[in-house]
Chain A
Amino acid sequence: MYGTGLAKGLRLTLRHFVESYIDDLRYGFRKYHHSTDNFGIRQGTQTKGVITVQYPDEKVAVPERFRFVPFLIVEDEDHPTRAGKDWCTSCGICAKVCPPQCIWIVRGNDPDTGRPVPEPEGFFIDIDICMNCGYCAEYCPFDAIKMDHDYELASYDRTSHHIHDKEKLSKPNSYWRSIAPTRAYDEMLVRGTWEHKDAAKEARRGSASSRASAPRPAAQQAAPAPVATALAAESESATAPAASAPAEGATPWNEDEAKREERRRKALERKAKRAARGG
């Protein structure tokens, strides 16, 4: 009969309409209540009726593999030997695999030997260009760069806020372990330790040979001078970074040589400080 197809379709829409209320009844009109834990059911495979998420009053927590804008892992402040130390060794692989080429790394060099040190002096990511592909995290051999879960990055000024410098990028290791526990565990299994690869290597070396045959005595001889300046600078730099940070991060792309030099010096001081603390 003409019109039956139409009527069948309309019956289906009516059923959808009614089902949304049946679901409301099932959850006692508390389907959208903050405190109920039926979110997983509402978003699950068995749900019927309305599935709307009331953003921003409620947000879907993103799965572990979710990727949005990279961050750098630094060691937690309460770590016994490497507190605050970057996991990044500035090997540059992330900059090479980055498809839109939004990562800039300034490799640090030892001022005395001129050899590269395993810690970046500067690290910039232009998040306007970043396409969230996750290659940097995937191909990092040191698990030092990871994709973040925080997708709420709106800001008032795109020119100054959207180039993330090292300070803005750095997040503690414990943060990564909290947002992606399973993945952090899997990475630990591959690395063989919860520690950074280098730390584990050093520990192994330390236990295998006696402390007397410490590596590279030349470097140790060179150490005292920077340590002294670092100690002198410590008192002022303790309060300084907070104030100088915004100015430094404001326009890193047209930063002059003097600023660059200063940034370099600060990084080396931090390094020397840690060396002093560690020794």
Chain B
Amino acid sequence: MENLAAAEQSVAKLSIEDSIEYLKSNHSQAIKLDDRDGYQGVIVDSDQLLDIARVIRDQLGFDYLSSATAVDYLGEGDHMEMVYHAYRSSGGGALVFKAQTDRDAAEIPSLVSVWRGADFQEREAWDLYGIRFPGHPNLARILMWEGFEGHPMRKDWREAYYEEERKPFDSRWPGGHVHRAEEKNVFGKNVSYPPDIDLNRLMDNSEEAVYSSLGLGVDVERIMDKDGFETNELVVNMGPHHPSTHGVFRMVLTVDGETVTSLEPVMGYLHRNHEKIGERNTYLHNIPFTDRLDYISSMGNNHGYVLAVEQLMSLGRKYNPPTYRCEALRVMMVELSRIVNHLWAIGFWLNDIGAFFTPVLYFIQERERILDFFEAVAGSRMMCNYMRFGGLFGDLPERIKSVSNLTNDRVRDYNTMQFLTEMINERIPRTIDELEILLTQNEILIERSMGVGILSAEDAINFSAAGPLLRGSGVAYDIRRADPYSIYPELDFDVAVEAEGDMYARYRVRVTELRESVRILKQILPRLEATAGESIWADGKPGAYAPRVPHGESYGRVENGKGELGYYIVSAGGRGGSSNPWRYHVRAPSFINLTPLGHMSKGYKVADIVGILGSIDIVLGETDR
């Protein structure tokens, strides 16, 4: 018996290669290696996917399902594929496994019973790709609305205003056939409804129709029935236009008195099919689009995307990794935006629980300084668009200087390094100190947040929670340490972790991370001085505008302020590579972190719900994509 346990223990520590070997030898009939050019991992027979997933989780120890997404290989084998990236919560690389299915009547067993974190991601795959997941508790559309025709991420689905499969579009040059997209769209002609759809249904505003499709697990009709209204249970709709939902986000709760009995998040109000746009775009076009995901920390978004593409480019022959100075600058920018993100998150979380705007404005003052710096270096305060494949938009300017151009313009002129040094050594630490004086021991804050919105460590891992939400539950999982990238291995910092798993723990994690970010920045400053004059490009000149990316897949992930931000990219290029991604998927922390929201909210008061949502820290640009 002990031997068996010991054997399992050793299996759970196998390297990725050995784990795949273990799977192959023990389950040879269900597993085959993915030997496509540039691909990794295994392809699992979809009939046995559930069993294999349990083996991967329980025996091999890959307990954290980071990403589950679909790919449509129309014309490249004509099948649908689900791609899963599983990690160990103790750190290390990914075990990638895939399941394939037919394009028509696509069906893959649901993994929600193994990893509850697959819940929203499978719903998204159903919504956008039309893959059915037998066994899923509530397989409803999540980003598009019920009654939408078709599955828009399928390669043969075309959007309104459709022009061509790929950018750049031919009409732009040399003919220059200028048009406004809306002039072209005669309303109605570009929209097709399913033949049997009853458009009146969309106008149905009755309570039953609105709430019965949400899978709340309550008999809505019984509660809503005016004649039989006997209990004190109630369905409450919050949002989509509610000041505390941080955007257009909706929550439908059933309450018993003031106590929440179930909660269902409803999203998609800001959905623009970022991924479809991304697949029409060239690789380069996508960088500014990533800015618009989590618009609070666009530097981090850039970083994840360029890492994913660089990973693919490194498979090719001509690829120069970024220089040391470039890496140092990237890390500096990302850490500054982490500070911005956490200041913002804490500030608006306080707004949600009642400390209206005094603290948030103190923090925003500091954020303004950082954004001034971003503006001077990258050209824009929020939509930075700063990173490039193998480099950056530009080195630091010598001076943060402006020229008066408009009437009443007031000019500023600072030395960049001096500005940066003062900011990192004095201003930001001072702001964090003030933040702590103001909040950490504030009795009202403690009363409101301690013991509220509890998520246990096991649940946090199982729900694929990421970032401060995961670390606030006592799981010391930070990608900068668990699966390091860039120059983080040589930097000295600690992973912030708190064991309690409540709102206050998440707040404490964010404060510690602010301090750790300052610690990293203080180490970056001498590195910048030491590399002054070094080029940010490996070969001294900027990269090409249309890089060819070799055939293959890659998953680039970074620890963003809100959690793990991952990009899954498939390049289906021929021999020369391709300039447009075949698949471009964003593993959005704001989206997946909402999966445990219903679970976390159960049993708390209505007034706590806004606080719990605020403590997760979501941004709707990223949630809805």
Contact = CB atoms under 8 A, between A and B. Distances in A.
B194 to A, nearest CB: 30
Contact of A124 (B178, B377, B413, B437): B178
B413 A51 contact: no
A249 B565 CA distance: 44
Interface string B155-179: 0000000010001110111111111
B442 A59 contact: no
Interface string A216-231: 0000000000000000
Interface stretch (B68-76, B403-411, B466-474, B519-527): B403-411
A46 interface: yes
Given A12-B437, A116-B174, A254-B183, A179 B403 contact: yes
Interface of A: 2-6, 8-9, 12-13, 16, 34, 39-40, 43-46, 51, 53, 56-67, 90, 92-93, 95-99, 101, 103-107, 116, 121-124, 126, 128-129, 131-135, 138-139, 147, 149-150, 152, 159, 163, 178-182, 252-254
A46 B412 contact: no
A138 B285 CA distance: 13
B603 interface: no
A13 B358 contact: yes
The 3 closest A-B pairs by CB, nearest first: A5-B441, A107-B174, A106-B176
B285 A40 contact: no
Contacts, number: 205
Contacts of A150: 405-406
Contacts of A3: 443
A71 to B, nearest CB: 12
Given A60-B410, A99-B285, A92 B443 contact: no
Contact of A138 (B281, B393, B398, B444): B393
Contacts of B410: 39, 43, 53, 58-61
Given A67-B379, A90-B174, A99-B281, A6 B401 contact: no
B590 interface: no
Contact of B178 (A62, A67, A96, A252): A252
A122 B176 CA distance: 7
Contact of A65 (B368, B376, B437): B376
B545 A64 contact: no
A43 B180 contact: no
6 contacts: A65-B397, A90-B174, A105-B172, A132-B380, A149-B406, A252-B178
B362 interface: yes
Contacts of B397: 63-65, 182
B401 A64 contact: yes
Interface in B391-447: 393-394, 397-414, 419, 422-423, 426-427, 434, 437-444, 446
Contacts of A60: 402, 409-410, 412
A44 to B, nearest CB: 7
A182 B276 CA distance: 39
Interface of B: 163, 167-169, 171-181, 183, 281-282, 284-289, 358, 362, 365, 368-369, 372, 375-380, 383, 385, 393-394, 397-414, 419, 422-423, 426-427, 434, 437-444, 446, 542, 545-546
A112 to B, nearest CB: 18
Given A95-B173, A180-B403, A43 B412 contact: yes
Given A57-B408, A105-B173, A106-B174, A163 B402 contact: no
A96 B173 contact: yes
- Output the residue of B176, B284, B378, B398 with the most chain A CB within 10 A: B176
A253 B403 contact: no
B545 A139 contact: yes
A51 B379 contact: no
A65 B442 contact: no
Given A59-B410, A95-B173, A138-B542, 14 more contacts: A5-B441, A8-B438, A9-B437, A39-B411, A40-B412, A40-B413, A45-B419, A56-B408, A60-B410, A93-B545, A96-B173, A101-B172, A122-B176, A182-B397
Contacts of B289: 99
B368 A61 contact: no
A5 B436 CA distance: 10
B180 to A, nearest CB: 5
B383 A131 contact: yes
A103 B379 CA distance: 20
B379 A66 contact: yes
Contacts of A152: 406
B408 to A, nearest CB: 5
A4 B546 CA distance: 61
A142 to B, nearest CB: 14
Contacts of B169: 101
Contact of B288 (A99, A107, A139): A99
A11 to B, nearest CB: 8
A36 B151 CA distance: 60
Given A12-B437, A133-B385, A152-B406, A61 B175 contact: no
B443 A65 contact: no
B444 A6 contact: yes
B405 A2 contact: no
A147 B380 CA distance: 11
Contact of A135 (B288, B369, B402, B427): B288
A5 B409 CA distance: 43
Contacts of B545: 93, 96-97, 135, 139
A12 B434 contact: yes
A19 B412 CA distance: 23
Contacts of B376: 63-65
A116 B393 CA distance: 32
A78 to B, nearest CB: 21
Contacts of B385: 133-134
- Output the residue of A12, A13, A67, A182 with the most chain B CB within 10 A: A12
Contacts of A182: 397-399, 401
Contacts of B368: 51
A124 B379 contact: no
B401 A63 contact: yes
A93 B173 CA distance: 9
Contacts of A99: 167, 281, 284-286, 288-289
Nearest to A39: B410
A122 B299 CA distance: 36
A39 B411 CA distance: 7
Given A40-B412, A61-B409, A181 B403 contact: yes
